[in-house]
Amino acid sequence: MKAVIVIGSGMGGLATAIRLAANGHKVTVFEKNNYAGGKLSELRLNNYRFDKGPSLLTLPHLIDELTHLSKYPNPFVYNRLQTLTHYFYEDGTCIKAPANAQAFAEVLNKTLNEEVQTVTKHLQLSALYYNLTADIFLHNTLHRFKTILNFRTLKGLVNSWRLPLLNTMHQANSKRFKNEKTVQLFNRYATYNGSSPYKAPALLNIIPHLEFNLGAYLPEQGMHAITQHLVACAQHLGVAFRYNETVSNINQHQQNVSGIKSNGINYDADLVVSDVDMHVLYKRLLPPTYYPQRLLNQEKSSSAYIFYWGIKASFSQLDVHNILFSNDYQAEFKALFETQEPYSDPTIYINITSKICKADAPNGCENWFVMVNVPHNATQATISYGDKLRTWVIEKINRMLNTNIEPLIEVETVLDPFGIELQTSSFGGSLYGNSSNSKFSAFLRHANYSSKLKGLYLVGGSVHPGGGIPLSLLSGKIVSALVKEDVG
């Protein structure tokens, strides 16, 4: 049995804590906030409840695995969504995307004149790309020969000619679909890891497979229920949680981890697992000797500006997930990643969990999580563009939904890139660490262990295999396998 300290209680940290505790190790989680979950926390304003961060659940079996491993008696309860997203375009076109792939293809045929076979073929290819790469890329480390030299890797390499390795997502989608609205709809999936479809590799077209073929879900009590459930699973195994603990250093002895320092006190450990942003880990917790300079200098993913609005009305044209598209998508991403400023006609995402979780808002009201993509906060200064961005967002919502939204806003607060960094230690508020805006950047993220400091492991959205709930959970699975290989 090893003494393990996990720094941070995001999805990666919680998954790792559960898996290592289930393998017999003594695990303590140190969390700088007074709550667990990292980005997956909640906010309450009067009679409204909001999920503060991620709003879509895919691959829920990864949570079921953790429940089973922990032997926690209460199952995690979630429901599959029948409608994925309502999409709105400036010319008045509205697409209600059903969760069924065939039904979705028929909707696009009727609305945008896309061939049904073209859409279903795209989703079939999405499944193919996923199946060829998942075992190699998502479920294992890419950084040890033992993982690379096996049958799964050989199978992937033999079939690599079938993978879209040369084109960008936009190039692939614009060749396949004839309607620009369809291209924009599928280009949107690049934002799932904070990247630009005009730069990110076409292989990221695996993402729609998760929603259309494997399913999108919502927990019965909202997304924050994931955090609550995983904490309960961890505690059932005896994992200790120490809140309000700001770790300031990872201690070393002769190139081996020896513990951490938190709030001025040293704590011994045989192993340390970092669930903090890679940039923060190296710049704040370790000396420069350990810096992976190339990765630290890589372009960061986008951030977000989020308005939490309690709306004293109900909008029948909206669903749980809604997108109001920019009229010039390419210009929007140019602003995000080249001019590094918010765009005046932003794509707006509106999440309304009260459509299903009725307790999240008073009767006849809705809890609006209104998010736009913005550049990461490279200067780490307070945000000055909030007022003008709010004006742009309200004008666009009023125009596209034919409403006057501001008088309906009963309660309001915001979360900007500065606040995201303050609350979650994500460098510059970057939601996914490094972006995937090059051919191989999505596959060349930081390893799940340190090659220079024995006993240090890394999980979470800024390292392999990537950002988002399922990939962060998988990072914990990878680390637990590495620890078993290294120390038993």
Stated as kind and residue range, the H or E segment containing 42 is strand 42-45
SS (H, E, C) 341-378: CCCCCCCEEEECHHHCCHHHCCCCCEEEEEEEEECCCC
Task: Render pLDDT for 256-269 as a digit per residue (tens, 0 to 9).
Answer: 999 999 999 999 99
Alpha carbon distance 462, 450 (integer Å): 14
Give percent of the chain with pLDDT exceeding 90.
82
For 49-98, what is each residue's pLDDT tens digit?
999 999 999 999 999 999 999 999 999 999 999 999 999 999 999 999 99
> Among 180-194, 330-344, 432-446, which is the least confidently predicted range?
432-446
Residue 479 has what DSSP assignment?
H
Q: b/e string for 274-307 if b means 16 or more Cβ within 10 A?
A: bbbbbbbbbebbbeeebeeeebeebbbbbbbbbb
Percentage above 70 pLDDT, the chain: 94
Average confidence (pLDDT) over 321-350: 96
pLDDT confidence of residue 450: 93
Categorize the per-residue pLDDT at 138 as very low, low, confident or very high, splitting at 50, 70 and 90: confident
β-partners of residue 249 are 261
Q: What is the pLDDT of residue 143?
A: 59
The answer to whether residue 132 scores a pLDDT higher than 90 is no
Q: Is residue 147 scored above 60 in pLDDT?
A: no
Convert the pLDDT of each residue in 401-423 to its tens digit. Answer: 999 999 999 999 999 999 999 99
* Alpha carbon of residue 68 to chain centroid: 24
Beta strands across the sheet bearing 247-253: 247-253, 256-262, 265-268
- The pLDDT of residue 145 is 55
Q: Are 471 and 60 in contact (CB under 8 A)?
A: no
Would you state the pLDDT for residue 209? 96
Does the pLDDT value for residue 441 go beyond 70? Answer: no
What pLDDT is stored for residue 476 in this prediction?
97
pLDDT averaged over the chain?
A: 93
Alpha-carbon gap, residue 116 to 113, rounded angstroms: 9
> Which of the four pLDDT bands, split at 50, 70 and 90, describes residue 10?
very high
Mean pLDDT score, 15-41:
97
Contact by Cβ (8 Å): 355, 348: no
Q: What pLDDT sits at residue 152?
A: 58
Higher confidence at residue 288 or residue 37? 37
pLDDT at 150 (0 to 100)? 55
Average pLDDT, integer, range 308-327: 98
What pLDDT sits at residue 163? 75
pLDDT digits (tens, 9 = 90+) for 153-166: 555 554 554 677 78
Maximal C-alpha separation, the chain? 66
Domains identified in the chain and CATH numbers: 3-41+220-298+436-487 (3.50.50.60), 102-216 (no CATH)
| pLDDT tens digits, one per residue of 206-224 | 999 999 999 999 999 999 9
Rounded CA gap, 148 and 314, in Å? Answer: 52
> Which of the four pLDDT bands, split at 50, 70 and 90, describes residue 379?
confident
Query: What's residue 144's pLDDT?
Result: 59
Neighbouring-strand partners of residue 78: 219
Task: Kindly report whether the peptide bond that precedes residue 465 is cis, defined as omega within 30 degrees of 0.
Answer: yes
| Banded pLDDT at 442 (limits 50, 70, 90) | low
Nearest to 91 by CA among 111, 109, 72: 111
Pick the residue with more confidence: 324 or 134?
A: 324
pLDDT band at 433 (very low <50, low <70, confident <90, very high): confident
Give the pLDDT confidence score for residue 161 in this predicted structure.
44
